[in-house]
Structure 1
Amino acid sequence: MKFRFPILIIDEDFRSENTSGLGIRALAEAMEQEGAEVIGSTSYVDLSQYAQQQSRASAFILSIDDEEFSGSDEEPAIANLRDFIQEIRFKNNDIPIFLYGETRTSSHIPNDILRELHGFIHMFEDTPEFVARHILREARAYTDGLAPPFFRALLEYASDGSYSWHCPGHSGGVAFLKSPVGQMFHQFFGENMLRADVCNAVEELGQLLDHTGPIAASERNAARIFNADHCFFVTNGTSTSNKIVWHSCVAADDIVVVDRNCHKSILHAIIMTGAIPVFLTPTRNNLGLIGPIPLSEFTPESIQRKIDANPFAREAQQRHPERKPRILTITQSTYDGIVYNVEKLKGLLDGKIDTLHFDEAWLPHATFHSFYRNMHAIGQDQPLCDESIIFATHSTHKLLAGISQASQILVKDSKGKKLDRHIFNEAYLMHTSTSPQYAIIASCDVAAAMMEPPGGTALVEESILEAINFRRAMRKVDAEWGDDWWFEVWGPDEIAEDGIGEQKDWVLGSSDNWHGFGNVAEGFNMLDPIKATVVTPGLNVAGQFAESGIPASIVTRYLAEHGVIVEKTGLYSFFIMFTIGITKGRWNTLVSALQQFKDDYDKNLPIWKIQPEFAQAFPIYESVGLRDLSQRVHDAYRQSDIARVTTDMYLSPMEPAMKPSEAYAKMSHGEIDRVEIDQLEGRSTAVLLTPYPPGIPLLIPGERFNRTIVEYLKFAKMFNGTFPGFDTDIHGLVDEVIDGNRRCYVDCVRE
């Protein structure tokens, strides 16, 4: 299978008719005759731009006779050459770099440059054909070594041309070729993807289910790259990774300690295992952003008080006083980018809880840059726990380069306890398909290999830099508008003027007003700068409404119709992520689109003119001006004081009436009542009640509705009826019209 990795030559004489130009073109022609692709350039004008080519090239050939290598400080003056090589090596330790010259030799090159080279070519001493073969040998050795273990085996299998009689039924894509619509499908996805979609019966690819062969080699390679003792690839997302971790170590009536604002997959795991949860409640600000759990909540004394206050946990502990809480699961980072100092948590909880599980779906990049030191679960030079095993679950597809559903589980053994892989694999088999998608496995393999330093470190640094440059650009626009309105980006008041700055710039302080989380512990939390929350006018972090405002849903609807899709929309904020795939073009386009929104808002242009698709879907807004519509929604929010309600409902105490697994069993048996909103207070839910955004469950099965939650549901019913198209989606709340009658109800346990 042939891949395109050209050889890049940089020589100012590449297109000249002088002796030097004739010589370098003869070398290029000799390489092309050997089957290589060669690209020639005549300038080093933008070193960074050429260094970007390290991901696309198989070798660099650099002339050292060029005038561009002249300068006043060195003789021979090679400052540009040094800068160029440093730019390449910042991202890639292995790509071959060759120098060549007519007048200069290696004796003119300082040692710090020589040690980065794969060869020095002195023109006209060997034939172009010989030199070409020498360069191509190094280039091919480099590209042949790029693919990590499983991806390499998959490439070999797909290119082998063997007939197969196993599943899937499309047989390498052949079935699609027998149908017109199948032809479209085949042409869209391509031959390679379909040839690589194979059954787990292919022995040479290894087995995901028992971690053998090339798959096992890739998991070991990923464990090494991520500084873990074990790594397991998962092909159904981190929701499944979380359930695997839980089922490997949690059983019925185990006491578990859980972040109240955890992902719903953790709550599903509580239901499935029959565990008894005690919750640690994070702070929140009035913009609806999730803050950290206070450090004081993590002390063993605080956890014990929570156990004592929960009748089911208290009873379980009385039956088995020798048992510790089985697992602690913390969301690291939160959806809004808040992370915890893991070393402080280890110091508090090592040995007090059997397993420490960090749901790092949004933080797989952190281990590769010192910017995040101590703020991630597993990393180089981090001390082992004495007793507790550490799990980290990563959404490889969210912030690394995995394709959708790519995830992984990392494990760090403690000094006194090692992971029992046989027990763990029983849980793994419970949740893993016997027909895994091999493209997802390959993307896990490749995503890990991409993060091997220095390349991974460079990718993370670029993400941080782009995110901070976006913030700088937004502040520059704000300064130029002066007293006029503009959007803010939530974060520290002061950021570095250049570069990425330091971790301390992003650590939350108790005296800081910007975050709105109150008196936080010093050095315990930081904001990951690659998570950017854009705040719209109308509400401040203290929960105070302005006279006029622009709800975020108005902005994101506008952006979507102009080709900009954001990750999450709150009341007066929306969230964007600077993954390793974000470019300057993307975030500059966002800034431009926000400028256009401001212009259309200030002119109060009608919806039909600026959002024709939205106007067609919801004709009631067709003739309404953008500013007028924003004000209507803002007034509805302000009159209902919805910022207070949505904050209080997550912070309000929840009363467990029964174990989550028991409440879910009631629903499975149909022992439920469909209770209208007005009658919900005091009733026990049989379902997860989850507003989107933020997608954080308010109640889990077995908990009782309180007054604040009912107040929120009443608002949602009113708002959805008044502003179609801006509906608040609440999973678990059924809103339906039957025979002209509208009903809003929740399935509750029958009393």
Structure 2
Amino acid sequence: MKFRFPILIIDEDYRSENTSGLGIRALAEAMEREGAEVIGATGYGDLSQFAQQQSRASAFILSIDDEEILHGPEEGPAIEMLREFIQEIRFKNNDIPIFLYGETRTSSHIPNDILRELHGFIHMFEDTPEFVARHILREARAYTDSLAPPFFRALLEYASDGSYSWHCPGHSGGVAFLKSPVGRMFHQFFGENMLRADVCNAVEELGQLLDHTGPIAASEQNAARIFHADHCFFVTNGTSTSNKMVWHSTVASGDIVVVDRNCHKSILHSIIMTGAVPVFLTPKRNHLGLIGPIPLEEFLPESIQRKIDANPFARAAQDANPGRKPRILTITQSTYDGIVYNVEMLETLLDGKIDTLHFDEAWLPHATFHDFYRNMHAIGRDRPRCDQSMVFATHSTHKLLAGISQASQILVKEPKGQKLDRHIFNEAYLMHTSTSPQYAIIASCDVAAAMMEPPGGTAMVEESILEALNFRRAMRKVDAEWGDDWWFQVWGPDEIPEDGIGEQADWILRSDASWHGFGHVADGFNMLDPIKGTVTTPGLNLDGQFSEWGIPASIVTLYLSHHGVIVEKAGLYSFFIMFTIGITKGRWNTLVSALQQFKDDYDRNLPIWKVLPEFGQAYPIYERTGLKDLCQSIHETYKDNDIARVTTEMYLSDMAPAMVPSDAYDMMTHREIDRVPIDELEGRVTAVLLTPYPPGIPLLIPGECFNKTIVEYLKFARSFNKKFPGFVTDIHGLVEEEIDGERHYYVDCIRMRRDYDVD
């Protein structure tokens, strides 16, 4: 299978008719006759931009006889330019071959710090172009042959082998699609290689994901090395499944578990499936609805014990097993809004007090590759090992790295003197993985890990941080130019570095800083990950006070989506974007431009039919409404209902457990439930997860009681949905029914005991 990795020549005489130009072109032609692709350039141009070619090239050939190199002393500007260029390449790539060549100058003219980065020095006209070409191509091919990590290499070999297969899937390498017109469209869209690589787990030469053997095992071991973990397990159906695997390998029925209240719903599913008894640690929130950190004092063993004592089910579980420690701690690292924890502080506090420490790092797989995040992630280079507690980290490779959708992995760091029982772990793994895994996802896990091998991974993370900061700087520049006029803000520290990425200390949360809105925070315990950007819109401040006018984020994100800009999530007056390793200057500059367009259309109060024509056609009620008028109408509804207070308090309110979650779920599966209208919910026990979007975080779990604040929010959502179609507040767990043209909302609750008496 042929891949395009051209050889890049930089020589100012490349297109000249002098002796130098004729010589280098003769070399290029000799390489082309050997089957190589050659690209010639006549100058370095922007060094950093040219060095980006390291990901596309198989070798660099650099002239040292050019005028810019010859001019001046050996350690003058010319040599410095060469040095900077090579440093730019090596910043991302230690291995790509770099050759220097000259006619009059030799290696004696080049400083040692440059020479040691080279794969060779060519003195032109001493050997034939054909010989020199073969020498260069040998190094270039050795480099490109080394790129593919273990599983991807095996998959490439299998897909290019040309063997007939009799195993599933039934499309047989894409052949079935060619028998149908629509199938042929599908084949042309996804391509031959994707479909040839879609094979079943009966292909022995590719290894087995289910028992971690062969090239798959080699790739998992390679990823474990790259991420500095003792073990790595690839998962092909997302970190939701990775979390469940960790839990089912660790937690049994009746175990006490300590859980971040604002965890991902997969953790709550795990609580239900394992029959665990949860006690929750509650994060702070500010009035913008952004999730802050769990206070350090909540992690104190004595604080956790008080929570156990206050929970009748946890207290009973502990009384039944005196001396048994909580089985697992799971926290969300980072939070959905980018707050991370100092893991070493947590490990020092909880090592041996809780059997397993699990960090759901779905949004943080990049952190191990840059010192900017030191101590602020679970597993990495030079991190101390716990004495007693096993450490798990679950990564969404597809979120921040280069995995395709559903690519995930589980990392393990063993405590001193203890090994992970891989056989027991794999029983849980098999419980949740598919027996027909998608090999393209496995390959993307393999490749995503290989891409993060330093220095390349470190460079990509640094580039992400830099782009995120450049976006923040651009937004502040626009704000300054608008002066007293309104503009969007980016949530974060008041002071950011003027250039570069700065230091971790610039992003540490401090109690004396008002920007975050979380009040008191422990010194050095939390940081905002700068690649997570929350853009705030006018209308609401950190104190929860509404201004006279405002721009709800739902309208801004609707506008952006109609202009080809899709954001990650939106709150009442904020929306969230991420600077992954795939984000480019073009993307964030397009976002800034689109926000400028929104401001212009808003200030002119252009009608919806003009600025959002498709939306106006779908909802004619808004067609003639001005954009500013629509914003104001929704803003006043939020303000009149004090919805910022309600949405903050409902997550911080006391959710009283009436049943163990697994028992409540059992009653639902047996249909021992009532479908209860919103107005009658207070005091009832939910049988389902209740999850408002935004922010997409479960509000109640099975077995907990509805309180007044939560019911108040549901009543607001009902009236808001009726008043503003197209901006519906989506709440998973609500049952909607239309009766006589009216939408009615219900929640499935545990049947009350008196109903049993009647029956």
TM over 0.5: yes
Using the alignment, how far apart are the partners of 2:601 and 2:126 within structure 1? 68
Question: 1:324-347 CA distances to partner (integer Å, 9 max, x unpaired)?
Answer: 000000000001000000000000
Question: 1:696-725 CA distances to partner (integer Å, 9 max, x unpaired)?
Answer: 000000000000000000000000000011
Using the alignment, how far apart are the partners of 1:600 and 1:684 within structure 2? 47
Q: How does 1:590-609 map to 2 (within 5 A)?
A: 590-609=591-610
Q: How does 1:413-452 map to 2 (within 5 A)?
A: 413-452=414-453
- After TM superposition, give the deviation of residue 79 of structure 1 in Å: 1.1
- After TM superposition, give the deviation of residue 738 of structure 1 in Å: 3.1
Tell me if structure 2 keeps the 8 A contact 1:259–1:329. yes
- After TM superposition, give the deviation of residue 67 of structure 1 in Å: 1.8
SS of match in other structure, 1:181: helix
Question: 1:394-431 CA distances to partner (integer Å, 9 max, x unpaired)?
Answer: 00000000000000000000003211000000000000
Who is 2:22 aligned against?
A: 22
Question: 1:353-411 CA distances to partner (integer Å, 9 max, x unpaired)?
Answer: 00000000000000000000000000111110000000000000000000000000000
Q: How does 1:108-119 map to 2 (within 5 A)?
A: 108-119=109-120
Tell me if structure 2 keeps the 8 A contact 1:257–1:325. yes
Q: How does 1:541-620 map to 2 (within 5 A)?
A: 541-620=542-621
- After TM superposition, give the deviation of residue 541 of structure 1 in Å: 1.1
Please tell me the residue identity of whatever aligns with 1:350. D
Question: 1:508-528 CA distances to partner (integer Å, 9 max, x unpaired)?
Answer: 000110000000111000000
Using the alignment, how far apart are the partners of 1:687 and 1:43 within structure 2? 65
Q: How does 1:174-253 map to 2 (within 5 A)?
A: 174-253=175-254
> Does residue 468 of the first structure (1) align with residue 474 of the second (2)?
no
TM-score (normalizing by structure 2):
0.98
SS of match in other structure, 2:232: strand
Q: How does 1:288-687 map to 2 (within 5 A)?
A: 288-687=289-688
Using the alignment, how far apart are the partners of 2:342 and 2:336 within structure 1? 17
Who is 1:107 aligned against?
A: 108
- After TM superposition, give the deviation of residue 742 of structure 1 in Å: 2.6
Using the alignment, how far apart are the partners of 1:290 and 1:709 within structure 2? 18
Please tell me the residue identity of whatever aligns with 1:212. T
Structure 2 gap ranges (5+): 753-759
Using the alignment, how far apart are the partners of 2:381 and 2:65 within structure 1? 43
Please tell me the residue identity of whatever aligns with 2:725. P
Please tell me the residue identity of whatever aligns with 1:256. V
Tell me if structure 2 keeps the 8 A contact 1:6–1:57. yes
Question: 1:133-155 CA distances to partner (integer Å, 9 max, x unpaired)?
Answer: 00000000000000000000000
Q: How does 1:693-708 map to 2 (within 5 A)?
A: 693-708=694-709
Using the alignment, how far apart are the partners of 2:465 and 2:748 within structure 1? 44
Who is 1:4 aligned against?
A: 4
Using the alignment, how far apart are the partners of 2:71 and 2:597 within structure 1? 46
Please tell me the residue identity of whatever aligns with 2:248. H
Using the alignment, how far apart are the partners of 1:448 and 1:724 within structure 2? 44
SS of match in other structure, 2:249: helix
Please tell me the residue identity of whatever aligns with 2:27. L
Question: 1:286-332 CA distances to partner (integer Å, 9 max, x unpaired)?
Answer: 00000000000000000000000000000000010121000000000
Using the alignment, how far apart are the partners of 1:167 and 1:261 within structure 2? 41
Using the alignment, how far apart are the partners of 2:119 and 2:467 within structure 1? 32
Structure 1 gap ranges (5+): none
- Cα RMSD of the aligned pairs, angstroms, is 0.7
Please tell me the residue identity of whatever aligns with 1:694. P
Who is 1:63 aligned against?
A: 63
Using the alignment, how far apart are the partners of 2:700 and 2:177 within structure 1? 46
Who is 2:47 aligned against?
A: 47
- After TM superposition, give the deviation of residue 74 of structure 1 in Å: 3.9
- After TM superposition, give the deviation of residue 107 of structure 1 in Å: 0.2
Question: 1:659-708 CA distances to partner (integer Å, 9 max, x unpaired)?
Answer: 00000011000000000011000000000000011110000000000000
Who is 1:169 aligned against?
A: 170
Please tell me the residue identity of whatever aligns with 1:514. W
- After TM superposition, give the deviation of residue 70 of structure 1 in Å: 5.3
Please identify runs of 4+ aligned residues in structure 1 that moved more than 3 A: 70-77
Who is 2:91 aligned against?
A: 90
Who is 1:152 aligned against?
A: 153
Question: 1:257-297 CA distances to partner (integer Å, 9 max, x unpaired)?
Answer: 00000000000000000000000000000000000000000
- After TM superposition, give the deviation of residue 71 of structure 1 in Å: 5.8
- After TM superposition, give the deviation of residue 739 of structure 1 in Å: 4.0
- After TM superposition, give the deviation of residue 75 of structure 1 in Å: 4.6
- After TM superposition, give the deviation of residue 68 of structure 1 in Å: 2.3
Q: What is the percent sequence identity of the aligned residues? A: 85
Tell me if structure 2 keeps the 8 A contact 1:44–1:68. no
Question: 1:610-647 CA distances to partner (integer Å, 9 max, x unpaired)?
Answer: 11011011110000000000000000000000000000
Using the alignment, how far apart are the partners of 2:70 and 2:21 within structure 1? 19
Using the alignment, how far apart are the partners of 2:11 and 2:123 within structure 1? 14
Using the alignment, how far apart are the partners of 1:352 and 1:281 within structure 2? 19
Tell me if structure 1 keeps the 8 A contact 2:229–2:411. yes
- After TM superposition, give the deviation of residue 507 of structure 1 in Å: 0.2
Using the alignment, how far apart are the partners of 2:40 and 2:422 within structure 1? 53
SS of match in other structure, 1:708: helix
Please tell me the residue identity of whatever aligns with 1:31. M
Please tell me the residue identity of whatever aligns with 2:41. S
Tell me if structure 2 keeps the 8 A contact 1:71–1:79. no
- After TM superposition, give the deviation of residue 656 of structure 1 in Å: 0.3
- After TM superposition, give the deviation of residue 542 of structure 1 in Å: 1.1
SS of match in other structure, 1:214: helix
Who is 1:690 aligned against?
A: 691
Please tell me the residue identity of whatever aligns with 1:271. I
Tell me if structure 1 keeps the 8 A contact 2:74–2:110. no
416-425 or 280-289, which deviates more: 416-425
Who is 1:136 aligned against?
A: 137
Using the alignment, how far apart are the partners of 1:548 and 1:556 within structure 2? 18
SS of match in other structure, 2:13: coil
SS of match in other structure, 1:744: strand
733-742 or 694-703, which deviates more: 733-742
Tell me if structure 2 keeps the 8 A contact 1:71–1:78. no
- After TM superposition, give the deviation of residue 45 of structure 1 in Å: 1.3
Using the alignment, how far apart are the partners of 2:696 and 2:124 within structure 1? 64
SS of match in other structure, 1:193: helix
Using the alignment, how far apart are the partners of 1:594 and 1:67 within structure 2? 47
TM-score (normalizing by structure 1):
0.99
- After TM superposition, give the deviation of residue 733 of structure 1 in Å: 1.1
- After TM superposition, give the deviation of residue 73 of structure 1 in Å: 6.1
Number of equivalences: 751
Who is 2:34 aligned against?
A: 34
Please tell me the residue identity of whatever aligns with 1:55. S
Tell me if structure 2 keeps the 8 A contact 1:355–1:390. yes
Using the alignment, how far apart are the partners of 1:73 and 1:720 within structure 2? 74
Tell me if structure 1 keeps the 8 A contact 2:234–2:409. yes
Please tell me the residue identity of whatever aligns with 1:472. R
- CA pair 75-259 structure 1, distance change in 2 beyond 3 A: closer
Who is 2:756 aligned against?
A: none
- After TM superposition, give the deviation of residue 563 of structure 1 in Å: 0.7
SS of match in other structure, 1:284: coil
